[in-house]
Amino acid sequence: MRINEDTPNEGSLRPTILLLSWLTFCYAICFVGYQGRMQGLWFWYVALRRPDWDVPTWLLTPAWTILFGLIGASLWNLFREGPSRPRFVAILLLIVQLILSALEPWIYFAWHRMPVSLAMNTASCLIVLLAMVFSLKARPLSAKLMIPYLGWIVYGSILEFAVMRLNA
């Protein structure tokens, strides 16, 4: 079969398919966390005392959608790099982080285990920071794509600590 110049060949579709695969993976995990968040957001969380600088609840879903898209793009960018130890470790750390991100809303919002959730968020900050260090060695753009996510989980950890203290 002759390939028409107007028809994209298999090689040109591979990066797009990989990007869509990583985004689907990340959004599937985001959806699991969303289900946990919805278990307690409107009945439990809104009834807690919270600091004035708390994020509005309506912003959570759009923020997580953007952040998980950035994680997917970061993973895709890393996956495009040739095999190397820094690439492997960065991808592994991000997958571990995604698993924690799926569990944490269940622990915090659904099961109301604030200290456990705070410990998980603190661990998440360290995992993302390590993933960024390894990404810098493999694909610096991947590390840059994680900066907003790291900022969000640092903010979330500080917020969780404040909410825990206000409701102790």
In a domain, 93, yes or no: yes
| Domain assignment of residue 76, yes or no | yes
Q: Give me the CATH number covering residue 22.
A: 1.20.1260
pTM flag (> 0.85):
yes
pLDDT of residue 93: 98
Confidence of residue 41 (pLDDT cuts 50, 70, 90): confident
Residue 9 lies in a domain: no
Residues in the chain: 168
Among positive and negative, which fits the CA dihedral 57, 113, 69, 125? positive
Q: CA torsion sign, 88 to 81 to 86 to 32?
A: negative
pLDDT at 103: 97
- Identify whether 82 is part of a domain: yes
- Asked, for residue 63, whether it belongs to a domain, the answer is yes
- Which structural domain range is residue 96 located in? 17-47+59-166
Q: Does residue 60 contact residue 105 with C-beta atoms inside 8 Å?
A: no
Please tell me which residue, 8 or 58, carries the higher pLDDT value: 58
The answer to whether position 28 is within a domain reads yes
Mean of pLDDT values over 134-138: 97
- Is residue 52, in this structure, part of any structural domain at all? no
Domain count, the chain: 1
**Predicted local confidence at residue 10, as pLDDT:** 52
Q: What is the per-residue pLDDT across 50-91, written as a single tens digit (0 to 9) for each?
A: 999 999 989 999 999 999 999 999 999 999 988 999 999 999
Within-domain flag for 91: yes
Helices (H), the chain: 10-40, 60-80, 85-105, 114-138, 140-145, 147-166
Predicted confidence (pLDDT) at residue 3 exceeds the cutoff of 60: no
Distance CA 78, CA 72 (A): 10
The pLDDT of residue 9 is above 90: no
pLDDT digits (tens, 9 = 90+) for 87-126: 999 999 999 999 999 999 999 999 999 999 999 999 999 9
CA 32 from centre of chain = 12
